[in-house]
Structure 1
Amino acid sequence: MQRSDVTRDDGTWMGLSLDVPDGRRPGLCVFSAGQRLMVSQLSRPVLLAVVDERLQGVDFWRTDEYRSFVPPLRADVGRALAGSPERWAHRFAQYLIDSSGSPMHEGRWLLSCESPLRRWRHADDPHAEYWSSMLVEGHPDGYLDWFMHSHSWEVLPLRPMPAAEDSRVKAYRKQAREGTLPPVLLWWVSGLDCHLILDGHARLAAAIAESVEPPLLQLHRTVPRDDLAARIDEAVGFYEDELARLAELRAVHGPTVPDGAATAGPQLVRLLHDLDAAEQPTWAWPLPGGEERWLRLAGEVTAGRDWPP
């Protein structure tokens, strides 16, 4: 796997671009059968979902079969890497690529410390209140409401969130107060329009209990490397064509026509940044056996309950 740094317009670090070689299949992946989805880890269903016919939301069922591929993070490691999302990103990138139970497959990914989740919080809202509101409730079943929360990028835990008095949460609460809490690892899944927690359920619970902003690392697919060069050429070509068009107008109408550098230049910068960082749809594989198999699996994991409602 190749890693390269991705920076903001001002040159500060914002994430790692991860190029995964061809042929790698994920251990944690999304399968689809019409409007029915299944998230599976090493052949174990961890989440079943049905998209509403009117596309207003998703009914889901968690199976409690998800297992984090990240080993326990010691407090001394948290102190050593505190305040360095870049070093944490390199550490988590290694867990992602080394584990057979991670969602990494061939293509290009971004592991970023930036997340749209941060942009939604009003400055006056307590962290505990905001992050609690972003958690999708319900266990084992629940509902992702796209009508009320369209593009709010909620967070769906892959197992029940531990209580504030849980022993692991208590240990992490001390780190949250000290500012040494390791990041929560999220995976953006476009078919659900939400983030899944890959690792850090207890750390997020600790941040909420202490009402501090949780450090985050968000994983999502981005523009594949084989498409990137062509799309960069396309963006640069548009920039050059725009400057040439305005130059022709200036030759006719004089310097009252802008040369375009003040508008086309920043637009090119934004386009190139988006190519490095923009989210791409999550891959989903056709579920072998289709809807019939999905229904059979749903009957097994729900013990025959009348689900979805």
Structure 2
Amino acid sequence: MECAVMSDGQNAIGVPAAAVYALGMQRSDVTRDDGTWVGLSLDVQDRHQPGLCVFTAGAQLLVSQMSQPVLLAVVDEQHEGVDFWRTDGYRSFVPPLRADAGRALAGSPERWAHRFAQYLIDSPGSPLHEGRWLLSCESPLRRWRHADASHAEYWSSMLVDGHPNGYIDWFLHAHSWEVLPLRPMPDADDSRVKAYRKQAREGTLPPILLWWVSGLDCHLILDGHARFAAAVAESVEPPLLQLHRTVPRDDLATRTEEAVGFYEDELARFAELRAIHGPAVPDGAATTGPQLVRLLHDLNTAEQPTWAWPLPGGEKQWRRIAREVADSQNWPCT
């Protein structure tokens, strides 16, 4: 996990105070070579520390929002999973989404992505910090559902149980990236869920906004807990928009040059083989061309590790925060 320099300010319980910066962002659509929309690339500038921030202290993690603890986590010694304690401190930065907006934007993840991007950029409580991000409808979570499993069965199994504490099982769900709600999931008969169930049946359900956090190897629900519950209750695939970091702009030019250099070297290698063995040897364009396209596409889409900031006071401070938020209960077990 990458770390960066952070501010020194702290609040009353010792969580570093969130610095507020003016935020600039450039957006651009990311498509495949056939024109299929993949996601929205966000190039964020001038926010050095986000309001929704990951801090690290050894094997311990802290997620805080505007200086309030949201999630504490500790990786177990065998690196098979993460014990977590979730507070009631998380607040979504997305305003309530009206049914008429769902109908107007139904079937258009591109338009939803632009709307959610605006919420992300406008709110000081979002996870955006400077760098390049992707807001995409192509979540890896969709890859693992077997044809004989219903949507209700599959998506229920991907939710991490437990409140206030629970366990993210890396051993059982290796590389399938579970979904961790940042607040308790509402029941199927909750009034909000009932309203969204109608939209789920109609195909007008707004997307659930997820944030992939590499230190947890898990997706956090930033917005859409009730919408997720509605999709499960109706056994339909939930529409998703996933947020994650991509290759930093400082590395983009270098890695683009490397990809183009690889392409040119491969063409030169095939040319040498053709000079020796004759025209029966292909010129290499049929294989190296698609390789170059994939490499360049990955520079705009592939997940990069989530940034985490060192927690001032280190593990001692993390344990103090854990004692306070867990209200002296025996967590984590020692």
TM-score category, normalised to shorter length: over 0.9
The alignment partner of 1:205 has SS state of helix
User: Deviations for 1:154-213, whole angstroms, at most 9, x for unmatched residues?
Assistant: 000000000000000000001001111000000000000000000000000000000001
Give the counterpart letter for 1:35 in structure 2: A
Query: Identity, % of aligned pairs?
Result: 84
Q: Which residue of 2 aligns with 1:288?
A: 312
CA distance in 1, matches of 2:53, 2:282: 50
Give the Cα separation in 1 of the matches to 2:31 and 2:138: 11
In structure 2, the residue matched to 1:58 is 82
Shift of 1:262: 1.3
Q: Within 2, Cα distance between the matches of 1:132 and 1:260? A: 47
Amino acid at match of 2:301: A
Q: Which residue of 2 aligns with 1:152?
A: 176
The residue that corresponds to 1:133 in the other structure is 157
Helix, strand or coil for the counterpart of 1:105?
coil
Task: Work out whether 1:104 is the aligned partner of 2:128.
Answer: yes
> How far apart, CA to CA, are the structure 2 residues paired with 1:9 and 1:120?
25
1:285 & 1:262 partners in 2: Cα distance? 45
Distance 2:305 2:293 in 1: 23
The letter of the residue matching 1:46 is V
1:36 aligned residue: 60
Q: Give the CA deviation at 1:9.
A: 3.2
Match of 2:247 in 1: 223
In structure 2, the partner of 1:45 is: 69
Give the match for residue 10 of structure 2. Answer: none
**Offset, 1:136:** 0.4
CA-CA distance at 1:22 after TM superposition: 3.1
Q: Which residue of 1 aligns with 2:139?
A: 115
Q: Give the one of 245, 252, 256 matched to 2:276.
A: 252
- Tell me the distance in 2 between the aligned counterparts of 1:12 and 1:23: 31
Question: Quick check: 228-237 or 188-197, which moved more?
Answer: 228-237
In 2, Cα distance between the equivalents of 1:141 and 1:118? 26
Which of the residues 243, 256, 263 maps onto 1:232? 256
- Alignment correspondent of 2:167: 143
Distance 1:167 1:308 in 2: 34
Alignment counterpart, residue 168 of structure 1, candidates 192, 213, 223: 192
Secondary structure of 2:329 counterpart: coil
Q: Residue 59 of structure 1 aligns to which amino acid in structure 2?
A: D
Give deviations 1:42-101, integer Å, cap 9, x for gaps: 000000000011111000000010000000001111111111100000000000000000
- Cα distance in 2 for partners of 1:126, 1:254 equals 55
Distance 2:274 2:166 in 1: 61
Partner of 1:70: 94
**Could you tell me whether the CA contact under 8 Å between 1:22 and 1:107 is conserved in 2?**
no
CA distances 1:224-260 after superposition (whole Å, capped 9, x unpaired) = 1221111111100110011001101110111232211
Whole-angstrom distance in 1 between the partners of 2:176 and 2:201: 27
CA contact (8 A) 1:132 1:208 kept: yes
Task: State the shift of 1:305 in Å.
Answer: 1.0
CA distance in 1, matches of 2:175, 2:34: 27
2:8 — aligned with what?
none
Aligned mates of 1:191, 1:120 — CA distance in 2: 21
- What is the aligned partner in structure 1 of residue 18 from structure 2? none
Deviation at 1:263, TM superposition (A): 1.1
The equivalent residue for 2:15 is none
Aligned 8 A contact 1:187 1:198 in 2? yes
- Structure 1 equivalent of residue 216 of structure 2: 192
AA at the equivalent of 2:38: M
Corresponding residue of 2:286: 262
Q: What is the letter of the counterpart of residue 138 of structure 2?
A: E
1:83 paired residue number: 107
1:23 Cα deviation from its structure 2 partner = 3.7
Cα distance in structure 1, aligned partners of 2:147 and 2:210: 23
Letter in 2 for 1:87: R
- Tell me, in whole angstroms, the C-alpha distance in 2 between the residues paired with 1:258 and 1:136: 51
Q: What residue number does 1:210 align with? A: 234
**In the comparison of the two structures, how many residue pairs are matched?**
309
The one-letter amino acid of 2:271's match is A
Q: Which runs of 4+ in 1 moved over 4 A?
A: none
SS in structure 2 of the partner of residue 55 of structure 1: coil
Q: CA deviation at 1:124?
A: 2.4
Distance 2:318 2:210 in 1: 26
